[in-house]
Amino acid sequence: MHRFYLAPAEWHPDALRVAGSEAHHARNVLRIQPGDKAVLFNGAGREITAEVASINSREVEFRKVHEASTPPLRCRITLGQAIPKGKNMDLIVQKAVEIGAAEIVPIVSDRTVVRLDHEEAAQKQTKWQTVAIEAAKQCGQNWLPQVGAPRGLAQLFGERQSFDLQLIGSLQSDALHLKQILADYSATHEGIRPASALMLIGPEGDFTPAELNLARSHGCLPITLGPIILRVETAAIYCLSVLSYELL
């Protein structure tokens, strides 16, 4: 069945109405008809199987058939991704949603090629959030990750978010394998898995030594991804996949 997103503020189980671009897509692209079934989700763990009740030029009205909830994943994983060149950020956001990231924070690092003013940053954030919604619709993810506004590492750490485990991809020789870090965490926490994790991935050329030192000073552990240097998007997918397998 087709899936449609309704923001939590618009989530009214007894009066389900899809408007805007979602209604346009349902009406003019999918050409749904009264009586057709669909799934609506609010990105906060709720979904409703519904039947199309009526269609007009502004909205599609649904009638609830069955409502269900999806529990959150066991570990809340935040991806802090230095903005790469081209459209690779779109791919990273899409795959992060599919793999199970809870939040995506675009990072403007010293070596980030892409430079955005305030207006461009807001436009990019809106675009990437749309990519996340489309990915959630396609993969059946009922918990929609939020894509934050682009920010620097200093600003990210200045927000004082708390994470049980903080990691940063590194090409430096003293970086440890992720498997070892997870084993050490398990040993020091009596087998209890982290409930939250931050994974920082650098841009083309990696984070600068100063940025790595800043991350270390805030508790980030440098990890190596092996002897092969990975592309930015590959590194993000690789790290999220391992963390998802180990922690979710």
CATH number at residue 219: 3.40.1280.10
- pLDDT > 70 fraction of the chain, expressed in percent and rounded: 100
For the stretch 164-200, pLDDT in tens is 999 999 888 889 998 899 999 999 999 899 999 999 9
**142 & 241 share domain:** yes
Shared domain check, 109 and 11: no
Whether residue 32 sits in one domain with residue 86: no
Domain with 22, as residue range(s), is: 2-69
Residue 86: is its pLDDT beyond 90? no
The mean predicted confidence, pLDDT, of the chain is: 93
pLDDT recorded at residue 129: 97
Please say which residue of 69, 101, 123 terminates a domain.
69
Residue at which a domain ends, from 69, 89, 118: 69
* Cα atoms found within 13 Å of the Cα of residue 246, Cβ hemisphere only: 22
Structure tokens at 118: 């305030």
Instruction: Please indicate, yes or no, whether residues 51 and 139 belong to a single structural domain of this protein.
Output: no
Please check whether residues 201 and 120 belong to one and the same domain.
yes
Q: Would you say residue 160 has pLDDT above 80?
A: no
Instruction: Examine the domain organization and report whether 118 and 199 are in the same domain.
Output: yes
Is the domain of 108 the same as that of 163? yes
Indicate the number of domains in the chain. 2
User: How many helices and strands in the chain, by DSSP H and E?
Assistant: 7, 12
Euclidean distance between CA atoms 168 and 200, whole angstroms: 5
Q: Residue 32: how many CA atoms within 13 Å on its side-chain side?
A: 28
Do 59 and 175 have their domain in common?
A: no
State residue 159's pLDDT score.
87
Whether residues 122 and 190 share a domain: the answer is yes
- Reported confidence tier of residue 80, pLDDT bands at 50, 70, 90: very high
Question: Of 102, 105, 152, which Cα lies nearest the Cα of 125?
Answer: 105
SS (H, E, C) 78-104: EEEEECCCCCHHHHHHHHHHHHCCCEE
pLDDT of residue 1: 87
Are residue 181 and residue 128 in the same domain, yes or no? yes
> Which residues partner with 17 through β-bridges?
61
Q: Is 241 helix (H, G, I), strand (E, B) or coil?
A: helix
Report residue 232: phi and psi, to 5°.
-55, -50
Question: What single letter denotes the amino acid at residue 112?
Answer: T
Pick the last residue of a domain from 44, 69, 94: 69
Q: Are residues 98 and 35 in the same domain?
A: no
* Other Cβ atoms closer than 10 A to 204: 13
15 and 106 part of one domain = no
Instruction: Determine the Cα–Cα distance for residues 135 and 149; give it in Å rounded to an integer.
Output: 19
CATH number assigned to the domain comprising residue 31 = 2.40.240.20
